[in-house]
Structure 1
Amino acid sequence: MRDPRDRIHEAGRRYGYARTVRSQPRRLHLRIGVAVGVLVVQHVPGEGPYAIGTALEAAGLGMRVCRVWAGDPVPEDLTGVEALVVMGGPMSAYRDDGFPTQGAELELLRAALAAQVPVLGVCLGAQLLAVAAGGTARPGTGLQVGWGPVRLGARLTGTCCSRGCRNG
């Protein structure tokens, strides 16, 4: 059986990213001695890091999942966080009903952007990232399934948000 990580690496090569694997996990430590590395914010049980977690593991990066659906508090700062991943969920970035952690997550994203911490937003996470960066999120006008092209606005070109990205 083929290792699923190979598919991730093949996809990365198609988009111009080289495969990097470290022999020892690289981890950062909080002042209290807890390893974090990449912080993943998970909103609902079925929207975990899955392939992203596999890719982080293959790259030798430590990962901590903040399960806000289970009552984990959203961290108030980025001490020890090397990168931030905010996953999806049924909530919305343009409405806060049924989304008690929205404000704390937006503040965390703004802090990450200000500190130039790499951020990946998936679905809801991408909506929140857009709002945190000063943009907007609104309901789509039609059905969207799968991947689509993303274009960076002029304000993001040359910033930490554009590193490793190709327009289109």
Structure 2
Amino acid sequence: MLSYSDNIIFIGDQRWKCIVTPCLELQNEYNYSTLHRKLVDTLTQLLSQFPNAKTFSKLDDDGLIHPHLYYDLVNKFESNNYAGLLTDYIVEVTSHKFIFMRGVFYMFGRELAECFLRNNLIPESASIGEDIFFGKIVSNYCNPKFIDLNDANMIWHKGYNL
């Protein structure tokens, strides 16, 4: 991963051996059906290891974001006083009870992360996509201000033929 930023944290990426940037060492192994648990574990560590961090962003490991867009989004987010969730989102169509992110990239403030961690009660056996899981929790418990990403033309995500 190339970046102009000094605040990129690689999570469990053994190729870099945590030399170039800080790394979080997660204690569990995750697969596609347990990514919601990885999100909880990651945010728990981030909040404790970076107590002064105000903004967090999530980018899929098979996604890319143009650095200029990233910094523009950080500025836009900070101008909203970190209050909300900056994302390309979808309203759940069946019950309209929650909003979830399309997954590739989203940004949120510390207060939202703390609220998410206080309310993330799920059965251990549950299998739910992390973006839906995050969206359900913050929509139902955290009263977020959703800030639409609007133009995602400089965010790329690998396509898969399934």
- Same-fold call, TM > 0.5? no
Output the TM-score relative to the length of structure 1: 0.29
Structure with more of its chain in strand, by fraction: 2
- The higher-RCO structure (CA 8 Å, 6+ apart) is 2
Structure with more of its chain in helix, by fraction: 2
Output the TM-score relative to the length of structure 2: 0.30
